[in-house]
Amino acid sequence: MDETKKLICEVLNEIADNIERGDFSKKVSIGLTILGSELGLDEMIKGAEFTSKKYTDFEIVLIGPKTDSKLRTIEANTPEECHKTMDKLLESGEIQGAVTQHYDFPIGVATVGRVITPARGKEMLMGTTTGTASTSRIEAMVLNAVSSIAVAKCIGILHPKIGILNVEGSRSVERILLEMKKRGYDIDFAESIRADGGVVMRGNDLLMGTPDIMLCDSLTGNLLMKVFSSFTSGGDYETSGYGYGPGVGEGYDKIISIISRASGTPVICEALRFCASCVKGDLVKLAKEEFERANACGFKELLVKKETIEETVKPPPKKAVTEEILGIDILDLEDACKALWKEGIYSESGMGCTGPVLLVPGDELDHAILILEKAGYK
């Protein structure tokens, strides 16, 4: 009887809190699978209970073995059973979103993470952090831009500024996104804090949180998430950020967010909050609309890989190369070099302090730039 009275009191207190805040909206339910953490079952439960006290506008449903927690629990006794149960609950609508570990997303779906950068304490989305948008890095990063914009809008950043991390493929991604903008796709770009500026971001920009969205491939994003979230703890306990985020892809209709097996209470808490925000902001609908806008500008045809110049192209007679041409992706560098050879201009590829460069004779610089622009390398 005492337990019944206690439960009634808790419900009445919650209703009173909602009245005081003027919050009469129906709560969304977010599932949390609690098996599989390297930090143990207790840490997962602690994270969930801490969240339920900090945020009262959504319900947390534990998916896992029975525990002493007062939170609603749906029983599942292995990680595999947890995922099966989670999927069923999502399909039935009993929960509207879920936070879990090691989920196998289909190809075409990748997660958009959210970190707090150390230099300024600024929030930054990382697109993406796990999953595979495409088996081609360049295509994946372009798709990641569309997915990340949808997530940004979902959490209230209506005109997010995008930066492209300086990894292989970044210059090709830049060209495609700029062409999408020319064709009418609404996209804004950040400017690097480094003296030479540009949309391609350096390590400094990562620390500063220069863009609202940092585009990268999932493997790089996953590594960065781990560094951002656990650099103060030595690596075995993630203390900061919002987790690896929701899986997003064209046609994907679930909101499943990822945390690491090393995610501690602070990250579990904000990952649940992030997931609830994506449910309330209707991420599935926003992603559908964002991909429709991208498709309307013909972005998929821009993703078709350019044919490479045949290997039989030989260099013209060697000349002194004194001028640098910047802005060519390292994946395109050798082909760009051969494009100049084909037109009788001697060139060499190299690596400068800001990335890959083409070296050409000083008296042929302007002609070389025109050739590269015509061929689509700049």
Pairing of strands 355-360, 323-325: antiparallel
Tokens representing 370 are 């025109």
Catalytic positions, please? 353
Count CB neighbours of 164 within 10 A: 28
CA-to-CA distance for 203 and 330, rounded, in angstroms? 18
Q: Is the dihedral of CA 289, 291, 295, 299 positive or negative?
A: positive
* Chain centre distance of CA 367: 39
The answer for residues whose C-beta is within 8 angstroms of residue 258's C-beta and 6 or more apart is 99, 100, 101, 103, 111, 129, 130, 243, 244, 245, 247, 271
Residue of 272, 239, 268 lying closest to 255 (CA atoms): 272
- Percentages helix, strand, coil for the chain, rounded to the nearest 5? 40, 20, 40
CA-to-CA distance for 172 and 133, rounded, in angstroms? 17
Identify the burial level of 128 via C-beta atoms within 10 angstroms of its C-beta, where 0-12 means exposed, 13-18 middle and 19 or more buried: buried
CA-to-CA distance for 18 and 184, rounded, in angstroms? 43
75 three-class SS: strand
Cross-strand bridge partners of residue 355: 352
Pairing of strands 58-64, 28-33: parallel
Tokens representing 55 are 């945020």
Q: Which residues of 173-202 are buried (b: 16+ CB within 10 A; e: fewer)?
A: bbbbbeebeeeebebeebebeeeeebbbbb
Q: Where are the alpha helices (DSSP H) in 263-308?
A: 265-280, 283-296, 299-302
Name residue, tokens 């400017």.
191
